[in-house]
Every structure is written in structure tokens, then in C-alpha cells.
Structure 1
Amino acid sequence: MGVDARLMAQVDPATTVLLTVECQQGVVGPDGALPELAAAARESGALDNVARLVDAAHGSGVQVMHALAVRRPDGRGASRNARLFRAAERLPVQQVIGAPAAQVAVPIAVSEDDLVVRRLHGLSPLAGTDADALLRNLGCRTVVITGVSANVAIPNAVFDAVNAGYVAVVPEDAIAGVPAGYVPELVRHSLALVATVTRTDDVLACWEGPQQPTGSTAAGPAHG
């Protein structure tokens, strides 16, 4: 099977950022605060696929950005206006800045060229963080969105990326949520309406194979 020309244009390394969402030890690690989600991310192969995408991005010049959800030790500034936030305060593992739980999880490799965006509040890796300004400064047109969870942060990231004018690409086998059966329904009925839904191997084929010349074929508006 050949490389999808449309996808290759969208994920041009010169204008693409690979975003990993909450792929941190305290979320998807073996001793994390959310064992059901961690098990889903690992048993589905999603976490391994994120790691494969990160490795390919490092090798092909695609910028990688890791979006982490963290807390101050005193909890100052954290959101408390939803049941999810209040439940998080009671979890046995806290995503405290600098703690192992707040570090990118194995087997994902972190390069010194990667950008790490940490948020203290809210649900979205993009809204209310430095991510959008960084993406624009990088000349980004397409955001490849991976990680967890398909229940909350992933759809937030996709919708916010699209609202900000980026092309969103979602490798459906590189995201995870609970229950596992919910993920394909979310993809089919929500994400596919606004994002390019693909598979990890298809993105890897674009980044690891011969690259076509960059040009005006990339989808989506340019940022000025």
C-alpha cells in the first residue's frame, strides 16, 4: 500500500508538531493514579504507538511537544469547578511539578529538542496554556494529537486545535480512554467530523519514507 498523498501533505515535517497528551508516569505509568486508564493505554498498544511516533518524529525533524497536567504542591491555582478536579485531589498519586508522576512515561523518549508544556488548571492541553503561541512561533499548520484520555483531554485538544485554525490529525490507535469500546465511538461520531483520522503506521510511512517537496498542497490555513 502506498503512502497517502493527502496525509503526507498534511504531516509535512516542516509544518507539523506531534503532541503527546498526558503521557506521564502518574497517568499511564504502572503505578499511576488511574490504573484502568493506564491499563487501557498499555494493553491497546496506544502508548507503544505514541512512543513509535515520537521516535519517528525525532528522526524526521518533526517537532515534538509533550503536554502534561500538573499541580503545585500546595494545589494553588488548580481547578475545582468540576467533579473530575475534585476527585483528582483525592487520588493517591498526585501529579506534583517535579515529581516522578509528572514526568513523561516510559517507553516514550524525550529529546532535548522537545517542548514540554505544563498546565495547572483546566481540561485542555491548548486552551489557557503556552501551546498555541509556541505552535504559531514554530510555523505549525498541523498538530498530530496522541495520548490520553479519549474521554476528556483528547477531544479538548482536537476541538481547540481546529478552533485555532490548525489541521488536527488523530492516529486512532495512539489514543486511549475508558471503557475501551468508547474510543472508536468517539472517533467515528465526533473526532472524524473535524480531524483527519488515521493510523500510526500511516503517519510513520509519511515520516520514514521519501518526503515529497513542501509546497502549497498542505491542508489548512496558514497562521499569520
Structure 2
Amino acid sequence: MGQQSERLREQLAPDGTVLLTVECQEGVVGPDSALPELGAAARESGALRNVARLVAAAHEAEVQVLHAVAERRPDGRGANRNARLFRAASRLPVQQHSGSPAVRIAAPIEVAEQDLVVRRLHGLSPIAGTDVDALLRNLGCRTLVVTGVSANVAVPNAVFDAVNLGYTVVVPGDAIAGVPADYTPAMIRNTLALVATVTSTDEVLDCWKASRPVSRA
């Protein structure tokens, strides 16, 4: 095993790692997405399928999974209105209303009983202003694996916030998506690679597979 692979395996040790899925919900990445272009990018690029693979592998390796969901009350109370993005979202035909099908975790991702789901009613980040940091610390998290959407806003927010809070961040580049399609690799190469370990879904799966205890007959 090369030095870089060994370092990644150490970073991804199951007892200190949490897998974060960002806005992988029906109303964002599902067939009836409020943002059809983004939803299509997540599905057609294979990013959503790779998130599902990572979640399944995390369950097998006993890596904690945390799903970050963005939603809003039907009356909009507490929601941001201080940016163009928020104002545009409030007018979309599909709304991420609390309790609606739009805020359910999207297929093919399977949510296990031990998974944690953190829902936010405001802001751009899955971490800042939510329970995520406290939960990560209570779980003994040292490394946060960030996946999901979008590479335009929420994913880089999550990465920067996690790094600022002292976590090591790993980003499987083929498990995040944004628009347009060519923006995601450019953002990963020129921004996220400066602060996170950029890898692939298969490399993460290999690390977790290698970390599973060998069963003895």
C-alpha cells in the first residue's frame, strides 16, 4: 500500500469517521426535484448512486452516517430572505416543506435506524447553526466525509465549516454534484483540494473494506 493510500486509510478509520450526506433529498435530487438541472446532474453523473454506495458501505463498516436536510416551514418562519438564492427558492413549484415527500432522503440511498438526520430551516450550511458539530464531537468524529449537493453552495460550505471547526475532511469527488457539469471538477481541483483530501468513492470503499474485521470460522 502506498504512503498516500495508507494515510487515507488512517484518516478513514471507522471509529473516528462520520459520513455526511448533504441535501440528498427527493425535492433536490429526486425525479421531481425543485431544481431539475441539479437533480439530473446528481443522477446522471452517478454522484447519487455513489452516495448510496458509500452509505451502504458505512453501515457495513460501522461508520456513523449523518444526513443533512434543508427544509422550510410552509409559512416560511425563520427562513432566510437575505440572498437571491433564498428568494428564488421560495417561488419554486416544489417546496422543501417540513414533513413533505420533498424532504425524504432520496432513493437509492437507504437510511438505517442508526443514522442521524439533521434538518435545518435557515442558512446555506449543513453545519453552521445546526446540531451537526455537537453531534460530531459527541460521536468522537475526527474525519468527516462530505458527499451530496450542491458543489455550488452547500458542499463547499460544509467543507469550509468542518475545516474551521478542526475536523479533517475527505471529499469523494465522484459523490458530489453541481451545475453546470464542468463546474464541479473545477471547483474540486481549485478550491476543495486546498483544504480537504480529495479521493474517489472506490478508494473510500476499499479503505472501509480493509478495516472490517476478518470473520473466523
* Worse-superposed segment, 88-97 or 2-11: 2-11
Deviation at 1:73, TM superposition (A): 1.5
Which string of whole-angstrom CA distances, capped at 9 and with x for unpartnered residues, describes residues 81-115 of structure 1? 00000000000001011100001000000001000
1:77 aligns with: 78
CA distance in 1, matches of 2:35, 2:184: 17
Residue aligned with 2:80, SS: coil
Query: One-letter code of the match for 2:153?
Result: V
CA distance in 1, matches of 2:162, 2:212: 25
CA distance in 2, matches of 1:66, 1:164: 19
2:188 aligns with: 187
Q: TM-score, normalised by structure 2?
A: 0.96
CA distance in 2, matches of 1:210, 1:165: 24
CA distance in 2, matches of 1:21, 1:51: 12
Alignment of 1:102-141 (within 5 A): 102-141=103-142
Alignment of 1:56-205 (within 5 A): 56-205=57-206
Query: One-letter code of the match for 1:87?
Result: A
Deviation at 1:211, TM superposition (A): 5.0
Deviation at 1:46, TM superposition (A): 0.2
CA distance in 2, matches of 1:25, 1:141: 29
Query: One-letter code of the match for 2:125?
Result: S
Query: One-letter code of the match for 2:88?
Result: A
CA distance in 1, matches of 2:97, 2:121: 10
Which runs of at least 4 in structure 1 moved beyond 4 Å after TM superposition? none
Which string of whole-angstrom CA distances, capped at 9 and with x for unpartnered residues, describes residues 28-58 of structure 1? 0001101000000000000000000000000
- In structure 2, do the counterparts of structure 1 residues 162 and 210 end up closer, same or farther at CA, with 3 Å as the change threshold? closer
- In structure 2, do the counterparts of structure 1 residues 112 and 68 end up closer, same or farther at CA, with 3 Å as the change threshold? same
CA distance in 1, matches of 2:31, 2:212: 37
Report the aligned-residue RMSD.
Answer: 1.3
Residue aligned with 2:87, SS: helix
CA distance in 2, matches of 1:28, 1:186: 20
CA distance in 2, matches of 1:31, 1:185: 27
CA distance in 1, matches of 2:31, 2:62: 30
Where does structure 1 lack aligned partners over 5 or more consecutive residues? 213-224
Q: TM-score, normalised by structure 1?
A: 0.93
Residue aligned with 1:209, SS: helix
